[in-house]
Amino acid sequence: MVKSAVLGYPRIGVGRAMKKVIENYWNGKATAEELQEVAKNVRKERWQTIQKAGVDIIPSGDFTLYDHLLDHSFNFGVIPERYVSQGMSLRTPTSPWAVVVRSRRRVSTSLPRRWASCEWLILFLSLDPTLADEISFDSNYHIVKVDHEPKTAFKLNNNQWLSEYEEAKALGIETRPVLFGPITYLSLVRKSRDSPAEFEPLELLDSLIPIYKEVLESLKKAGAQEVQIDEPILVLDKAEAYGDLFKKVYEALSPSIEFLKDLPIHALHLDLDREPKQLDEVLAALKPTKAGIELGVVSGRNIWKNDLKASKALAEKAVAELGADRVVVSTSSSLLHTPISLKVETKLTEQQKSWLSFAEEKCEEVAALAAALNGQESSLFEQNTKDIAARREFERTSDSAVRDRVAGITEEQLARKAPFPERRAAQKKHLNLPKFPTTTIGSFPQTKEIRLARSKFGKGEISQEEYEKAMEAEIRHACEFQEKVGLDLFVHGEPERNDMVQYFGEQLNGFIFTQLGWVQSYGSRYVRPPIVVSDVSRPSPMTVRWSAYAQSQTSKPMKGMLTGPVTILNWSFPRADVSKEIQSKQLALALRDEVVDLANAGIKAIQVDEPAIREGLPLRKADWDNYLRWAVDSFRLSTSGVENDIQVHSHFCYSDFGDIFPSIQRLDADVISIEASKADLKLLDVFKSYGYSNEIGPGVYDIHSPRVPGEQEIKDRIASMVKVLPADLLVVNPDCGLKTRGWKETEESLANLVAAARWARETYA
Ligand code: MET
Ligand SMILES: [Zn+2]
């Protein structure tokens, strides 16, 4: 019999139950017991949903209040000294670790997002390193890394795997516990700042193995039949050097689980959604062993209905080679990156719903697939065949004008009319900005009033006219505010935006939106990504009315504000039938028209934000060039339709450009702004060593806390920037947008920023 499996399931609960209770707990409105109670119910609801869908192998141990990597650290007793000294006790497993982390800002969530979607397998073994080439970890999930140092000692502080396994068992549900393998765990955690330069957390492996043994033995004793050990690190380039480590670890663990003679694993899971081509080779390798194979055919990363007929054909190959008992059909990764259920969506049309599949539906898909392979094609399977055919038909008849426009993109459309020095001279005249010009990244505080007006407008409680009046009043206020603090290059403040991606998606053809399609980004932060369903185009201008209104309120130059094509795409669910390159270029053409319209409306500077460009990097270095080529081309396409005197800005939320510097330069933005003060100013060295030639605004203060930076502190920052970058290329701005801040601290901070810039003008005249 072919069985079905799911590797992991969303933890956020139907109706965002976890977010609500966790935030209430933080605010003192819920007790720890209430929090645990809700968590217990959510776990039960997940197991029962997966079971009801007919899935044979149900995951446990993959639940978390905040983040699963963080939980591993807590479970292994790795709690950095500074938390312990602040009242965190190792002996209170019921005190939610997440809460402690939240209140100590020091734990970083800055791991590149692409790492985060590392869920896999029983053991994902890539037999040929090139097999994994096309797999990429492009998810928006952040994992939380805890500091490890040479003296870090492990102990089984909380056996989450055993307790969840038993909790499910008590409900009559047999589950398969899921945990990161030790190599992936140690590869993902952070090395503490004070540890010696040559130290790598992986050196702690020997002392971690006994903890894994303890966990596995306890599970065995409790009756667990299988354990899912995720070692996604195997698909990274660097894992090629880890062969011996894997042998060592899995041989050491083998007495604890039932291992095979030839391979120290019992079954191998493959992500066949990302790389179906690897199947043949893996089948050939497994055939002479007793190992089973788990076919990850139902995508855990996208929201598209699986083509069950095609998956069945693929699985039949495996059945023919290994026999049905050695084959399991499953999801390609945990379903953590998908929304929970399509059934709660009331605004999507029947046609749109027929294209999609969220976590609950994906469980039904793997079950239907296993049933079909066992000779029982369900009605769901038949319906699926019809829906897939209809979707293919829709894809063929999408917007041909847009596709033709992409096909007709010329080299000239990818470049500004003149090189930077010439543009710079034209912009100097046009904008007339002082040296060390001051500006902000775009958003101003999104106050309760703004959100209330938006929600009232959404519910039809206020008219379009009233809503627009309210937004205009906000923009006027932003302009007056900027006059008052004395900034040079203004912004309108983005009050009309719910979200920097959704706002554009809602105005473009080709996107649809869910009402409740929340996906966890980290902790209690969830996002609701737009879905690209067809060719993208811009029916009418999107931001011109607001930017033009803002410009009419001041004689200072106004900076238009757009989200870039790569960021819109990376923070959405892309369509699966057309490459990301094509989708990105369609977006770029729509934005290009917007940029031209802004310029025609008298806007002299236009910022196109690309904070997601770096995190979209593919997993394997070999694929970087291709990605960077189309990503940079998309940016250039969107920004190069204007005359030389228009100043094009771009913003990135980080400054760690070491490995992609040539691409940053090739964007050829007139001004870039980066987050430099939160990180280390040292990161600017790369700009110096590569000789960055355009203007640059390394953020002078961190906007993630209400703390007001002193004038002297900002002067000091500027002084250290002048040491690495030419003074006449420097722009003075905060690290990022100010939408999460209050007006009071914003005013004080920006006043200090302006004073420091004035000082710099005199000092470095
Ligand atoms: C995450 S980057 C945000 C850029 C945007 N323009 C803002 O100021 O909010
Ligand atoms: Zn930013």
Q: Residue 730 carries which DSSP code?
A: B
Would you tell me the crossing angle of helices 359-373 and 32-52 to the nearest 10 degrees? 30
Question: In which band, very low, low, confident or very high, does the pLDDT at 93 lie, cut at 50, 70 and 90?
Answer: very low
- Which has the closest alpha carbon to 242: 178, 180, 184, 179? 184
- Which has the closest alpha carbon to 654: 683, 694, 627? 683
Question: Is the C-beta atom of 500 inside 6 A of ligand 1?
Answer: yes
396 pLDDT higher than 80:
yes
Question: Is residue 479 marked as binding?
Answer: no
- Average the pLDDT over each of 274-283, 542-551, 624-633, 656-665 and give the range with the smallest value: 274-283
Domains of the chain (ranges plus CATH)? 3-396 (3.20.20.210), 406-763 (3.20.20.210)
Which contacts of 551-555 are long-range, i.e. CB under 8 A and separated by 24 or more positions?
551/601, 551/602, 551/603, 553/475, 553/476, 553/479, 554/479, 554/482, 554/483, 554/490
**Phi then psi dihedrals of residue 346, to 5 deg:** -110, -10
Question: Is residue 494 marked as binding?
Answer: yes
Question: Is the C-beta atom of 611 inside 6 A of ligand 1?
Answer: yes
Nearest ligand 1 atom, CA 563: 6
Cβ contacts of residue 85 below 8 Å, gap of 6+? none
Question: Is the C-beta atom of 580 inside 6 A of ligand 1?
Answer: no
Q: What burial class does residue 21 get, using C-beta atoms within 10 Å of its C-beta: 0-12 exposed, 13-18 middle, 19+ buried? A: buried
Cβ contacts of residue 193 below 8 Å, gap of 6+? 147
The amino acid occupying position 574 is P
Question: Is the C-beta atom of 739 inside 6 A of ligand 1?
Answer: yes
Residue 345 contacts residue 22 (beta carbons within 8 Å): no
**CA dist 83 → 146, 160, 196, 421 (Å):** 11, 20, 21, 51
Q: Residue 303 and residue 336: Cα distance in Å, rounded?
A: 12
Q: Residue 281 and residue 453: Cα distance in Å, rounded?
A: 58
The DSSP result for 445-470, as a single string, is ---HHHHHHHHHHHTTSS-HHHHHHH
Q: Residue 470 and residue 351: Cα distance in Å, rounded?
A: 36
Q: What is the pLDDT of residues 155-211, one digit of tens each?
A: 998 999 999 999 999 999 999 999 988 998 998 888 888 899 999 999 999 999 999
- Tell which one of 499, 543, 609 to mutate to probe ligand 1, the residue whose CB is within 8 A of the most ligand atoms: 609
Half-sphere exposure of 711 (CA within 13 A, CB side): 11
Nearest-CA residue for atom 4 of ligand 1: 737
Question: Is residue 644 marked as binding?
Answer: no
Would residue 704 show up in a list of annotated catalytic residues for this protein?
yes
Span from the CA of 652 to the centroid of ligand 2 (angstroms): 5
Span from the CA of 733 to the centroid of ligand 2 (angstroms): 11
Residue 5 contacts residue 297 (beta carbons within 8 Å): no
- Which has the closest alpha carbon to 648: 673, 622, 676, 670? 670
Largest Cα–Cα distance in the chain? 82
Read off the pLDDT of each residue in 707-732 and give the average, rounded to a whole number.
Answer: 95
| Two tokens, residue 97 | 């670790």
Q: What is the pLDDT of residues 96-115, one digit of tens each?
A: 343 333 332 222 222 222 22
Mean pLDDT, the chain, rounded, equals 87
Span from the CA of 230 to the centroid of ligand 1 (angstroms): 35
Give the length of the chain. 765
249 pLDDT higher than 90:
no
ipTM for the complex?
0.99
Q: Residue 492 and residue 441: Cα distance in Å, rounded?
A: 11
Would you tell me the crossing angle of helices 308-322 and 379-396 to the nearest 10 degrees? 120
Span from the CA of 594 to the centroid of ligand 2 (angstroms): 21
**Token match 């020095």: residue?**
421
pLDDT of residue 690: 87
Question: Is residue 442 marked as binding?
Answer: yes
Question: Is residue 140 marked as binding?
Answer: yes
Q: Residue 439 carries which DSSP code?
A: B
User: Which protein residues have a CB closer than 5 Å to ligand 2 (ion)?
Assistant: 653, 736
Question: Is the C-beta atom of 736 inside 6 A of ligand 1?
Answer: yes
Q: Residue 120 and residue 135: Cα distance in Å, rounded?
A: 12
Q: Residue 529 and residue 665: Cα distance in Å, rounded?
A: 29
- Tell which one of 444, 500, 675 to mutate to probe ligand 1, the residue whose CB is within 8 A of the most ligand atoms: 500
The DSSP result for 316-334, as a single string, is HHHHHHH-GGGEEEEESS-
Question: Is the C-beta atom of 563 inside 6 A of ligand 1?
Answer: no
Nearest ligand 1 atom, CA 442: 8
**pLDDT over 70 percentage in the chain:** 90
Question: Is the C-beta atom of 442 inside 6 A of ligand 1?
Answer: yes
Nearest-CA residue for atom 8 of ligand 1: 737
Name the closest ligand to CA 495.
1
445 pLDDT higher than 70:
yes
**Token match 């270095």: residue?**
621
- Which has the closest alpha carbon to 272: 321, 331, 227? 331
Q: What is the pLDDT of residues 203-228, one digit of tens each?
A: 999 999 999 989 988 988 898 888 88
Name the closest ligand to CA 740.
1
The full 3-state SS of 251-299, as one line of letters, equals HHHHHHCCCCCCCCCCEEEEECCCCHHHHHHHHHHHCCCCCEEEEEEEC
Q: Residue 669 carries which DSSP code?
A: -
Strands (E), 547-639: 558-563, 605-609
Question: Is residue 395 marked as binding?
Answer: no
Question: Is the C-beta atom of 695 inside 6 A of ligand 1?
Answer: no
The amino acid occupying position 492 is H
By DSSP bridging, strand 519-522 and strand 525-527 are: antiparallel
| Two tokens, residue 655 | 């400054």
Q: Residue 213 and residue 330: Cα distance in Å, rounded?
A: 26
